[in-house]
Structure 1
Amino acid sequence: MNKTIVLLLSIFSLISCKTSEVGILVEKGLLIQNAQITSPENQTMSPDNFIVVDGDEIVYVGKDKPNLKGSFTIIDARGRYIIPGLIDGHVHVTGTDALSDEEELDNPEIVKKFREQLPKSYLYFGYTTLIDLGTAKPERLTDFQKTEIRPDLYYAGGGAVIGNGYGLSNWKDDIPNFIYQENEDYPIPEKYLKENHTPKAVAERIAASGAIVLKTYYEPGFDPTQPRFPTPSKALMEELKTEAHKNNLVLVVHGNSLEAHQFLGNAKVDIVAHGLWNWGSHRLDSTNAIPEEIKQVLDVEIENNVGYMPTLQVINGLRELTDSDYLNNPELEHVFPKNLIEYYKANSNVMYANVFGGAPKNIIATNFNRISNQGKINLKYMFDHGGNILFGTDTPSSPTFGNPPGYNGYLEMLEMEKAGVPPSKILAMATIENAKAFNLDQLYGTVESGKKANLLVLNKNPLQDITAYNDIEQVIINGIPFDRKTFSAQKGAE
């Protein structure tokens, strides 16, 4: 950030004028006047403010009119609402949504268009900061970072996977970040030295990569007819947490089942990367009551202040494979290139079969609606009882076109409101609470001096109307304002 700001306060004008003037000297900046600032922390509105941006930093917020010296772009925000840019705490900016590695190789032009559009799709829906929670293709992170206009991107460094466990896809690396766990009967290639795969060694390696998150997994598997994946022991998870915190890393753990959440809540991990929508042997019935065993697990997570990401769109995104009309949604035209939508339409039945085999679509849709409702009911319970709820979408979560970048975040918000979470809480989760959870609150989460100038200008009040996030007038990224339409895939197709 530009730290060469000179703030000149005039004592005489403070005494003699009803509206005092604050002198601000910059070479080139941005002035937002008549700004109605929405506070995510206390859920209030502060009208008639001035916001001054120098470079990519907010240098002044207040009601006193600034006496500007320099070249300024001016936005008159009268009648609109200013909020900090949104933070999606769980994305993957790696492959092309729903395309396998082989399909990517066979369709280079589709991949090219998608990669070019990806940062814009997130910005179109107001996501100015992303946390990538794991990729098998680190070079894609680098490619994303090279894009001139993009969300700020943070990441987990390779994933601290339990050796031979779920999520391990990097055996080809010289020193992959798997964790060697004693007393597990599984083969690890002899070329890997045990001392390179302790929690200490892996945490240090991840921190050195520039990551802010240590991501691991508690996933025994999805098919009960298959052998279980190895999962971390209580002692190992405690050691991982200790080493993560020593290296200023946030410990985020994949888990979506009753077994996983029970273990992770008791382990007091920082964040569980999914909601508890897999209830094991329990099923949601017509009473919509949460089974006592599920409540007890949620209560432990609440008591231990474990971050809880509902990730409702994981289930909904898979369900969309059953909907023959989904790809006609006009919103998709803003976030997917036209040639990719055409590819999806031509291959939707194959994509469905790749995930669900020959199962009837109506049965899959019914089951996934039930699981989705289980997730929403749990979310409402967490909200009603003071749980530490964070915003993340897991975009894209699986080989489906039902998790569109950017738009998936808006859909997650709509689902949260359906679950009974008010818009004011959703705003806080997607801004200041995410910023605090990932130790980024010195830069993001509120509209105040010293923060990064990533802002949204909305046409509706986000404290009252969740559709405000699909009525964005301008996106300000790194202090530069853009009309929202700039980021539409339709614009790129012109």
Structure 2
Amino acid sequence: MNKIIGLLLFTLTLISCKTSEVEIIVDNGLLLKNAQIISPEDQTISSNDFIVTAGDSIVYVGEKKPKVKGAFTTIDANGKYIIPGLIDSHVHVTGTDALSDDEELQHPELVKLFREQLPKSYLYFGYTTLIDLGTAKPDRLVDFQKMEVRPDLYYAGGGAVIGNGYGLSNWEDEVPNFVYQENEAYPFPDSYVKENHTPEAVAKRIAESGAIVLKTYYEPGFDPAQPRFPTPSQKLMSNLKKEAHKNNLVLAVHGNSLEAHGFLAEAEVDVMAHGLWNWGNHRLDSTMVLPMEIKEVLDAEIKSKIGYMPTLQVINGLRELTNAEYLDNTELEHVLPKPLLDYYKANSNIMYANVFGNAPKHIIATNFNRISEQGKLSMKYMNDNGGKLLFGTDTPSSPTYGNPPGYNGYLEMLEMANAGIPLNKILAMATIENAKAFHLQKRYGTVEAGKKANLLILNKNPLRDITAYNDISQVVINGRPMNRETLSAHKD
């Protein structure tokens, strides 16, 4: 039906060029008038424009008042600002924030409530498109996509982890797309066929699953007292990149350390799925100066035009386990079901101990504040020197309630703005830059005819005020307008 409407629209538009009248026939459409549309590409703001959608697509954007026929709803956007829906290019939608697998089994009612609210929580803060960068529970991706009201969801195909490495801690883990690397100091189990775990086989299988990303990892581990995880060789990474591109996949790689970023800059991967906050032997001091070795690695990433996700909230979310007042934040009531929020409050000390043991909270908080500042400095250097910044939060990144869905993205934006990233850049990276990096620009990233009808109607100008992203009047998802309050977990 949408293709027929699009063809009809094209014909009618050609005719209207001669008659100076734009006539559009829609079915299940939307007419927005008096629209101030912000372009994420050049930051221009049109005034008194009209937008017409049909089904889930934008079919007209222009100054001329269209003559719309058929079934449609009219919205007067006078005094408001229209931007494309936001894209979070690094999420994990299949777990329950801060709950282990055992806790999920013990509290199925909390899991059910969380999963029902999850897509609405992302929409509440304007995230109309998500990219899941890895899951051990692919069936839950299907469950998410069955939700009536939800963001558009894309995904990486199961995670091309290195055999016996980070993300595959033992051979009993169910990660079907692990990549076998020759000459590692571990035996390959007889239960697997090596030919099924080559870069060629894994990339082909991931592409056939419908994924748009091949996600792999460079992670030697977080505890220097423990043996290192196996990490990919340059030859293996080169082969993964070649096979990913052969299958029209984006190569995104986990890595947050100086060692990882140095390796991946040399490999010229497509996307660094984390910022450089782990500086190895370097530590941020009172001078707040970026060490030369850090600059050199970031310069290499800039030169290679590697997409760089700062993911500042990974560190901040862990730090919130030390903050007794965090769970009293009323914003959480919009994105978390009350019973789950109550569970977090009752078990916050246990959750802290599960992650940090008996370590004093003030010491943990101090260390994470320093690491967070290191991440911000790296991000600012990338921005100031022409780096390719992308918006991704890694929500939720670890067993913490400090990365709530949707709200975590808004907090990431606040951190970026506070660190000196221009507001126009934040808008671009969360829309058109993400769309381009993940080959989705034909359908997302700008407000144009032919794009997906995923729009935000804001009460403030996001180029002047970062809090505009928390002052949303309506969310339009797949052509369906929704008042923001209807998406809240506590709308009643």
Interval of TM-score (by shorter of Structure 1 and Structure 2):
over 0.9
Could you tell me whether the CA contact under 8 Å between 2:91 and 2:393 is conserved in 1?
A: yes
Looking at structure 2, the residues matched to 113 and 443 of structure 1 have their Cα atoms a distance apart, in angstroms, of 31
The amino acid across from 1:137 in the alignment is K
Q: Is the partner of 1:131 in helix, strand or coil?
A: strand
Residue by residue over 1:56-105, the C-alpha shift from the partner in whole angstroms, topping out at 9 and shown as x without a partner, is 01000000110111121000001000000000000001111000111111
- C-alpha distance in 2 between matches for 1:133 and 1:468: 27
> SS at 2:443's partner residue?
coil
Percent same amino acid at aligned positions? 76
- Does the residue aligned with 2:48 lie in a helix, a strand or coil? strand
The C-alpha deviation readout for 1:118-139, integer Å capped at 9, x for no partner, is 0000000000000000001111
| One-letter amino acid matched to 1:353 | A
In structure 2, C-alpha distance between the alignment counterparts of 1:263 and 1:28, rounded to whole Å = 51
Q: In the alignment, what sits opposite 2:331?
A: 331
- Decide whether aligned partners of structure 1 residues 452 and 9 sit closer, same or farther in structure 2, where only a CA change above 3 A counts: closer
Matches within 5 A, 1:294-313: 294-313=294-313
What is residue 423 of structure 1 aligned with on the other side?
Answer: 423
Aligned to 2:387: 387
Q: Which moved more, 1:26-35 or 1:340-349?
A: 26-35
Match of 2:458 in 1: 458
Counterparts of 2:319 and 2:34, CA distance in 1: 44
Give yes or no for contact 1:131–1:155 (8 Å, CA) kept in 2: yes
Q: Does 1:90 align with 2:95?
A: no
Counterpart of 1:404 in structure 2 is: 404
**In structure 2, what is the Cα distance between the partners aligned to 1:404 and 1:426?**
20
Q: Distance in 2 between matches of 1:187 and 1:156?
A: 27
**Over residues 105-153 of structure 1, what are the superposed CA-to-partner deviations in whole Å (9 max), with x where a residue is unaligned?**
1111111100000000000000000000000111110110110110000
SS of the aligned residue for 2:73 comes to strand
1:344-359 maps to which residues of 2 (within 5 A)?
344-359=344-359
CA contact (8 A) 1:136 1:170 kept: no
| AA of the residue aligned to 1:111 | V
Find the counterpart in structure 1 of residue 142 from structure 2: 142
Aligned length: 488
Match of 1:258 in 2: 258
Structure 2 residue identity aligned to 1:364: I
Report the counterpart of residue 31 of structure 2 in structure 1: 31
1:382 maps to a residue whose letter is M
Q: Under a length normalisation based on structure 2, what TM-score does the superposition of the two structures give?
A: 0.97
Letter in 2 for 1:250: V
Instruction: Tell me the distance in 2 between the aligned counterparts of 1:128 and 1:331.
Output: 19
Where 2:93 maps in the other structure, the secondary structure is coil
| Structure 2 gap ranges (5+) | none
**CA distance change for structure 1 residues 11 and 445 in 2, over 3 Å: closer, same or farther?**
closer
Q: Which residue of 1 aligns with 2:285?
A: 285
SS at match of 2:4: coil
Contact persistence 2:159–2:175 (CA under 8 A): no
Q: Determine the C-alpha separation between the residues in 1 that align with 2:174 and 2:90.
A: 27
- Does 464-473 or 1-10 show the bigger shift? 1-10
Q: Structure 1: how far apart are the matches of 2:169 and 2:489?
A: 32
Q: Is 1:253–1:272's contact at 8 Å kept on the other side of the alignment?
A: yes
Deviation at residue 34 of structure 1 after TM alignment: 0.5
SS of the residue aligned with 1:4?
Answer: helix
Query: 1:182 corresponds to which letter in structure 2?
Result: E
Query: 1:270-326 CA distances to partner (integer Å, 9 max, x unpaired)?
Result: 001000000011010111000000000000000000110000000000000000000
Q: Distance in 2 between matches of 1:479 and 1:413?
A: 26
Residue in structure 1 matched with residue 130 of structure 2 by the alignment? 130
Contact preservation (8 Å) 1:10, 1:21 = no
**RMSD over aligned Cα atoms:** 1.4
In structure 2, distance between residues paired with 1:171 and 1:94? 22
Equivalent pair of 1:22/1:65 in contact (CA under 8 Å):
yes
For residue 28 of structure 1, report the CA deviation from its aligned partner.
2.9
8 Å Cα contact 2:36-2:45 kept in structure 1: yes
Work out the CA distance in 2 between the residues paired with 1:170 and 1:233.
20
Letter in 2 for 1:325: E
> Could you tell me whether the CA contact under 8 Å between 2:90 and 2:133 is conserved in 1?
yes
SS at match of 1:3: helix
1:325-357 alpha-carbon deviations (Å, 9 max, x no partner): 000000000000000010001100010001011
Confirm whether residue 272 of structure 1 aligns to residue 306 of structure 2.
no
> What does 1:21-420 correspond to in 2, within 5 Å?
21-168=21-168, 171=171, 176-420=176-420
| Structure 1 residue identity aligned to 2:401 | F
Give distance in 2, aligned partners of 1:224 and 1:68. 65
1:376, 1:99 → 2: CA distance?
28
Task: Identify the residue that residue 472 of structure 1 maps to in structure 2.
Answer: 472
Alignment partners' CA distance in 1, 2:386 and 2:162 = 32
**What is the identity, as a one-letter code, of the residue corresponding to 2:210?**
G
CA offset digits 1:38-62 (Å, max 9, x no partner): 0000011011110000000100000
How big is each residue's C-alpha offset from its partner over 1:419-467, in whole Å with a ceiling of 9 and x where there is no partner? 1101110000000000000000011000000000000000000111110
Q: In 1, are the aligned partners of 2:26 and 2:71 still within 8 Å (CA)?
A: yes
Assess if the C-alpha contact under 8 Å between 1:175 and 1:192 holds in 2: no
Maintained 8 Å contact 1:457/1:473: yes
Question: Equivalent residue for 2:449?
Answer: 449
Separation (CA, whole Å) in 2 of partners of 1:365 and 1:167: 26
**1:453–1:476: 8 Å Cα contact kept in structure 2?**
yes
Residue aligned with 2:50, SS: strand
Structure 1 stretches of at least 4 aligned residues deviating more than 2 Å after TM superposition: 9-15, 169-175
Residue 25 of structure 1 and its aligned partner are, at CA, apart by 1.2
* 2:82 alignment partner, SS class: strand
Change (3 A) 1:95 1:13: closer
1:434 aligns with 2:434: yes
Q: CA deviation at 1:11?
A: 6.3
Once the two structures are TM-superposed, the CA of residue 174 in structure 1 deviates from its matched residue by 7.8
Aligned counterparts of 1:432 and 1:412: Cα–Cα separation in 2: 18
Q: TM-score, normalised by structure 1?
A: 0.97
* Contact 1:237 1:267 (C-alpha < 8 Å) held by counterparts: yes
CA 1:13–1:256: 2 relative to 1, 3 Å: closer
CA distance in 1, matches of 2:102, 2:180: 31
Question: Which residues of structure 1 form unaligned runs of 5+?
Answer: none
Q: Distance in 1 between matches of 2:433 and 2:75?
A: 28
Counterpart code for 1:380 = K
**Separation of aligned partners in 1, 2:257 and 2:349:** 29
Give how far 1:13 is off.
8.7
Cross-structure match for 1:486: 486
Structure 1 stretch 256-265 or stretch 21-30: which is displaced more? 21-30
Contact kept in structure 2, 1:184 and 1:230, CA below 8 Å: yes
